[in-house]
Amino acid sequence: MYRGTHGVFISGDLYGRVQGALRRHNKPKYGKPGIAFRGLLTCAHDNCTITAERKKGKYVYYRCTGYRGKCATPRFTESEIAGKLGVVLKDIHIPDGILAQLQESLTRDHDQLLENTTAQRNILKQRLSAIQRRMDQAYQDKLDGSIPHDLWERKMREWSEDERQIQTALTRLQAPSSDRILDAKRTLELANKAYSLYLTQNSEQQAKLLRMVLLNCSINEASICPTYRKPFDLICQRAGNQDWSGREDLNLRPPGPEFSRVNS
């Protein structure tokens, strides 16, 4: 630190007044609270959007926009909408015992796939090493004059093509990702806990949870019809039928690698 020789540009009094003015003009602005379930619903009668409005600053009501004329769908309070949407999550519940079985099955499938991939990789590496040894030996035989030049060129072309195919197969042969198995297990856990979690949350948190599970919902005066995201649509179907035997249809297993057969 040292004292400069230039003059003072701004007086201390002016600096203080400017800072005070900046603080007054930068007070945080609090917008109107959002409407939680807006954008999640359509009218079952005319396929119009279910819109929402706030009355007296605190009461939220949902109704059909009525763009296609007078509609029979009544107006709903936010608590009524929350209750109807909660049933949507209840319908994808996976029992604890089934959840444990599915997760164990996913783990076994992943481990088996990893074992198969490792074995296939080892086979390809052995073939690659064998071809490279033949190429090295053939080159030495050519130098020694043991094989004709045209035969050496023909065999080298064949082996080079085999080498390229094996290396391509090794590149494509990826080990199963642990992220995929983790995502699958989290999806199952979400289906298992979604409804109980929903009951403990406020409306904004409930809407966020619903958007993870739903594409849309149509509603009328008596019922609500959800359109689930994948794979929750299949989970809902299994839960409704109480049939969990076809777990492969849930499309939760990590995909297996595609093996390329190469002749050596």
Q: Kindly report, residue by residue over 152-164, the tens digit of the pLDDT.
A: 889 899 999 999 9
Mean local confidence (pLDDT), 169-196: 83
179: pLDDT strictly greater than 80:
no
130 backbone dihedrals φ, ψ, rounded to 5° = -65, -45
First to last CA, the chain: 77
pTM value is 0.58
C-beta separation of 210 from 89 below 8 A? yes
130: pLDDT strictly greater than 70:
yes
Query: What does the pLDDT look like over 67-102, one tens digit per residue?
Result: 888 888 899 999 999 998 988 888 888 888 888 888
Mean local confidence (pLDDT), 160-173: 89
Peptide bond into 226 cis (omega under 30): no
- Strand-pair category, 59-64 with 41-43: unpaired
143: pLDDT strictly greater than 80:
yes
